Amino acid sequence: MEILRTPEKCFAKIKAYPFKPNYTTIKTHDGSDLRIHHIDEGPRDGPILLCMHGQPVWSYLYSRMIPFLNGGGIRVIAPDLPGYGKSDKPALRTDYTYQRQVDWMSSWLVKNDFKNLTFFGQDWGGLIGLRMVADHADRFDQVAIGNTGLPCNPDIPDAIVDEILAFRNSKQKISLFHMTKKLRSMRGFSSGDKHNSERMFAYWQKYTWDTINIPSGVIASMMMEKRNMLSLLLNLLMIKLGFGSSRLFASDLSHAYEAPYPNARFKMAVRAMPSQVPMIPDQSLEAQLKAWEFFSRFEKPFLCIGAGNDPVTNGFEKQFIKRVPGAKNQNHQTIGGGHFLQWTKAEKLSNILIQFMKKNG
């Protein structure tokens, strides 16, 4: 397996990320060494919150929350998924599958021997982390999730599956703004909208795969901050021209999310992982069914915190509240903030998690 490593100098000008790096080397399926980065901040004897990010971001997403959490006595461990942030980046599309991300992060978990954890995951951090909880239940005391899920849709009609796959494999060109418009029309995967959400999400899957130099920084910026449109377009142009590391026209936030990728070759995880979201039945179906069977018996505390204004994940909590015993009588909340509520609602989300951890010991 060819594995790329982002030079440390690429992170030198990132603001408000003063955390000491920690690295763990695991073995991949073919015996390659894969180095995974994480930050570990807060009191050594404090209760541990494992925070996992999604796509196209990295542990920088938690940089606003960490001071609040540490102030509440919480020790925060936040890894970068392989392919993101300061972690190594396998170079090929075929290197990335849902199962491999679960396997890689499980190896990282076990090698560090982390125990007595409270888990919090959002986006892909939830998809991967919930599977880790199911596979290593003895290491987790409780679970909280935000704007994420455990997709498992075995009963989608074949005609819908064929339609979505044909679209994703078509030669139709999808622009960033066309894709964004389609995603904003979603009403969440739990809305019962006759598979419109699966159709709209396919625009994200197709756009990310077809775009070789996907503008990670611009996408994150669009979802987390207000930008002048001219500045945003110029920022997008610089990335398209291969100057993604340039600070010219980039906001601090946009720069931080573009920094892990010196060039387009480093972005394979950002491109490949959306297509691994199992919104239609695929090779992960059996493992997803097994995970849901586990959570249908999960009696440890389970908390759902949603934005309520994220078109992709609106209503995600319904399945968990209905099916997970540990979700009963928990203070599930909707707090706004869009998809990346860790950034936009950092203090509020931190306080909810602190109270959840204190309530449940």
Tens of pLDDT, residues 330-357: 999 999 999 999 999 999 999 999 999 9
* End residue of a domain, out of 255, 276, 297: 276
Residue 135 is among the residues annotated as catalytic for this protein:
no
> Three-state SS for 312?
coil
pLDDT tens-digit profile of 217-271? 999 999 999 998 898 899 889 888 887 767 778 899 999 999 999 999 999 999 9
| Dihedral sign, Cα of residue 92, residue 124, residue 24, residue 215 | positive
* Rg value, the chain, Cα: 19
**Catalytic annotation present for 178:** no
Q: Indicate if 8 and 148 belong to the same structural domain.
A: yes
Tens of pLDDT, residues 138-168: 999 999 999 999 999 899 999 999 999 999 9
Rounded to an integer, what distance in angstroms lies between the CA atom of residue 83 and that of residue 267? Answer: 7
**pTM for the complete prediction?**
0.96
Amino acid, res. 224: M
For residues 124 and 60, membership in a common domain is answered with yes
Average pLDDT over residues 13-20: 95
- Shared domain for 210 and 235, answered yes or no, is yes
Q: What is the mean pLDDT of residues 76-89?
A: 98
User: For residue 191, what pLDDT is reported?
Assistant: 54
Q: Is the pLDDT of residue 361 over 80?
A: no
Where are the alpha helices (H) located in 247-284, listed in sequence order? 252-258, 268-272
In this predicted structure, what is the pLDDT of residue 241?
85
Where does a domain end: 212, 244, 276?
Answer: 276
310 is catalytic: yes
Q: Are residues 300 and 213 in the same domain?
A: no
Q: What is the CATH number of the domain that holds 116?
A: 3.40.50.1820
Share of the chain above pLDDT 70, in %: 98
pLDDT above 90: residue 189: no
Of 53, 88, 123, 195, the active-site residue reads: 123
Clarify whether residues 105 and 31 are in a common domain: yes
- Type of residue found at 6: T
Tell me: pLDDT of 123 over 80. Answer: yes
Last residue of a domain, one of 228, 252, 276: 276
Peptide bond before residue 56 is cis, with ω within 30 degrees of 0: yes
Which member of 37, 195, 255, 339 is catalytic? 339
CA-wise closest residue to 296 among 275, 318, 325: 325
Residue 311 has pLDDT above 80, yes or no: yes
CA distances for 77 relative to 11, 52, 53, 117, angstroms: 19, 9, 11, 10
Residues 264, 191 share a domain: yes
Percent over 90 (pLDDT), the chain: 89
Q: How many domains does the chain have?
A: 2
Q: Are 39 and 76 in contact (CB under 8 A)?
A: yes
| 3-class SS of residue 288 | helix
Band of the pLDDT at 55, cuts 50, 70, 90? Answer: very high
Statement to judge: residues 149 and 194 lie in one domain: no
Structural domain boundaries, residue 37: 3-153+282-359
The answer on 21 and 144 residing in a single domain is yes
* pLDDT value at residue 247: 76
| Rounded CA separation 268/209 (Å) | 9
Task: Please report the pLDDT score of residue 245 as a whole number.
Answer: 67
Mean pLDDT of 30-36: 97
Please tell me which residue in 80, 95, 103, 310 is annotated as part of the active site: 310
